[in-house]
Chain A
């Protein structure tokens, strides 16, 4: 080392340093970022000029950038929800470190849209959602593996982003502040509406005139709950299963029925639930409504129709069940009959 600390070397070094500062003044950039941040709603900066803030700034930069790669054109709900969550992290970060500019000016939350294809290319973004942390020393954007959030962690919640930031930057984000579901004025309006309408509702209720006193309401409700339960809707909600799949071999063909007893698709579940419920409703129709019909021929036609439909429905369910589970019910005929 001592060899290099000669005067010419020092001179060269200072020139080089000077030239760098001339290209981009880090402190200026920080203030510019701060102003950009204060102008945006949740503190997420729309990064239009990647080179200005990242590539043309000499490392180590005085700040880190955490970039959310967004695509408004994609019009994907989960992506936009994630973007909102990202905004919450940004806002919480600023709010939690409000009085400490030395902390808040270390990290800026940014966003790059897919319309800026050049930046996407620079980062080598192949899939969304993606979050990248550009730390002060990072130079080559294409080799940014260490800055990328791991795929397993990108689960779309603000907490995962905050955890990622905290683990990589040693800055604390603090608790995430989400805006309440209803704003205070909305709550006030709703509460006052309830308070005003309560006496009327109670009066109506005491007179027995609400829909709650209509047994039809309960009847339809009961049948609906039954329908959704026997079709296994809860299974589909909990495991967030789609209505149908595309055939992996032929993308034009849709798969509605899945041959595995533990898994069902949405359309499949609803159609079988319909068959389950439909037969019962038809039976109820015959025993409750059709008996009151005066015209015998009408009764006859309706009953034949009902019986054919019910028979086919039951047959269909039995067939589907055997196909799906692979069970075959043994009939236990005497062995001499077989």
Chain B
């Protein structure tokens, strides 16, 4: 396509149209960028400009540290506020891409006297990068199937719900920039593959470096590209361009990746990277074969092949044996748990409860696909087929990309995010092809009609069509954008295509469809697109914009806002000592450190399973045992999240079974069966005594009966089993407005000397009250 365009001589009408097409696509791309940015602002408009959820708070805290102390301090930062008493080396264990990006943006803005706060920059990083991501999608798809498909794919990506879910304003997480980096790396790879330019190959390695900085998902790239190279070799598509696209990426990319502290030597040591090295060897062998083929006569070449093949086989076998031995000698076979659970989907559920416990690591059901990529699920197969006619290096890459990502998304719902760009590219290709065929048929038949009939007849026929189309456009702005992208493509492509199409028509008697059915099909496609837009806007506005730190609910008497989390964290930061330790389940670790600035025992960076299991065990133990565990960890306060009053379902009682499982995984005296009545998890009168006496139950339901007199839990929809009880080792210090967060203080340990003195005193006075003193030694 590009070649055809550039070969036209300047000054001709087609060149003029071409220039017009370029300007139009640039305009459309700007609009797509605006769309991508603005569709993600629902969260700011509906709630406020606030950081969302859990992980973003950590990233925000790191960015704050970076902007305050500079990059060197950040690199060497040892954080003593988390994982007490272990602490955590932040600089060496964090993917720095996101924080460095936002930090740089903040620094640039400040140095040109735009005084935005760090928080504002963090909130809007994700929407800005989604605009970049859609532009990268345009570039990538353009390399594969021309700019028409590119524009369609970019428009689709700008509002694909799966990506919106991770990149709404305030969702300040690695994926926000990583998806852009992922697509851009793929684009540069394809660009190198198409041009064979070393310049792009170097850029590709740098883009890969940025991706490695940003997200652990970079292993997807470093496995997908080798797979594509291997596929090209296997299907006999080896070319020097392939070599240039791949070899520099492995060498430079691996060197650069090893510079990132969190990756370091993993870039050459773990199995996730072995595929790239193996293919690196293979491509050299193949390159050598092709080289020898070039300098030898066919006969000599045959002899050489037999020689090389036999030697090569031996060498390969040895290498494979060494690799297998190396891999087998490491405990998990060199694969990290998350990657293993991708290859053997049943692995995590069997062996790693901490991975299985996260809901985004579950395999999705079909409605998830409908929710996350919506009608793209219908269009992708057409895109796959279109990529095969004809199959090029670039199109085979996107096919491989969609196949791999769709498989992985089937294993882990979280990877739907990686599928989304592939689905957009494929659907863009499919849509663009379909529009091409239908509009081409309409145009051809109208113009052929015009040849048969009178000239003016056609113009009247033609005009209403366009009007009808543009009239539809006005209905929804998003539709307009998506449609206009297709229009742009049409206008841009048709002038260049028309001559060739026409010449084909003369020879082959028209590759067209009937006029009226084409129009109907076009309308149906537009309806499908409109449905997609509506779904995306709905998803962005309703489903994915909740910051989950502030909750709202609508009822007949208006909107209720539950701001309990921030209330409680503020309480902690104002009413406790700076060095006090707060224990909670790991979900709330990041928020506690970022918003309350207090030391936590475990947080969302689940690097130490034993530590988490300790907290899980404490929560599952009776009060005294729990007190001892917490006291041994210097804990002053215990924070639990409880949704029973307002019906907030993701509270600690619902997460409790995972605490038991994770705790029991390390400390076998905690048995899941003890907490279940006939295999059922219940907290009502049928609950087991272990359940009713564990710390989590007590901390959540302490004084709960005072709210309504019955103790009716609105999440579990039942009356609780044990209503009236007292705490012996903990005291309630704070309960938030809607009871969502409850904070307890550990009672101080009994002072032994004073106790003895007291006892002596009691003995001397009377023996009556000594009994009660014994009963409650902590008072």
Contact = CB atoms under 8 A, between A and B. Distances in A.
A284 B382 contact: yes
B513 A303 contact: yes
B521 A288 contact: no
Contact of A321 (B367, B384, B513): B367
Given A218-B388, A279-B378, A318-B370, 20 more contacts: A213-B235, A213-B236, A215-B391, A218-B396, A219-B388, A222-B399, A226-B384, A234-B345, A263-B365, A276-B377, A276-B381, A277-B381, A280-B382, A281-B381, A292-B511, A300-B516, A310-B524, A325-B371, A330-B542, A332-B537
Interface of A: 152, 198-199, 202, 206, 208, 212-213, 215, 218-219, 221-223, 225-226, 228-235, 237-239, 261-264, 268-269, 272-273, 276-277, 279-281, 283-284, 286-288, 290-292, 294, 296, 299-300, 303-304, 307, 310-311, 313-314, 317-318, 321, 324-325, 327, 329-332
Contacts of B531: 318
B761 to A, nearest CB: 52
A287 B382 contact: yes
29 contacts: A199-B309, A202-B309, A208-B236, A219-B385, A222-B384, A223-B384, A223-B385, A226-B402, A228-B410, A230-B369, A232-B364, A232-B366, A234-B410, A237-B345, A237-B346, A238-B349, A238-B411, A281-B382, A283-B378, A283-B381, A283-B382, A284-B430, A288-B386, A303-B521, A307-B521, A321-B370, A327-B371, A330-B541, A330-B542
Contacts of A202: 309
A300 B346 CA distance: 49
Contacts of A304: 517
B407 A219 contact: no
Given A198-B313, A232-B410, A321-B367, A291 B235 contact: no
Contacts of A300: 514, 516-517
A276 B388 contact: no
Interface residues of B, number: 69
A206 B305 contact: yes
Given A283-B382, A299-B517, A303-B517, A273 B388 contact: no
B383 interface: yes
B365 A261 contact: yes
B534 A314 contact: no
A238 B345 contact: yes
Contacts of A296: 514
B403 A264 contact: no
Find the residue from B366, B367, B382, B528 having the highest chain A CB count within 10 A: B366
B44 interface: no
A221 B403 CA distance: 9
Contacts of B513: 286, 290-291, 299, 303
A256 to B, nearest CB: 13
A152 B673 contact: yes
Contacts of B386: 284, 287-288
B363 interface: yes
Contacts of A222: 384, 399, 402-403
Interface in B494-526: 509, 511-514, 516-518, 520-521, 524
Interface string B61-100: 0000000000000000000000000000000000000000
B410 A233 contact: yes
Contacts of B234: 212
Interface string B530-564: 01001101100111000000000000000000000
B12 interface: no
A280 B379 contact: yes
B545 to A, nearest CB: 13
Interface string B220-236: 00000000000000111
Contacts of B433: 287
A213 B391 CA distance: 11
Given A226-B402, A232-B410, A238-B363, A215 B388 contact: yes
Most central of A198, A218, A272, A310 by chain B CB within 10 Å: A218
A215 B516 CA distance: 34
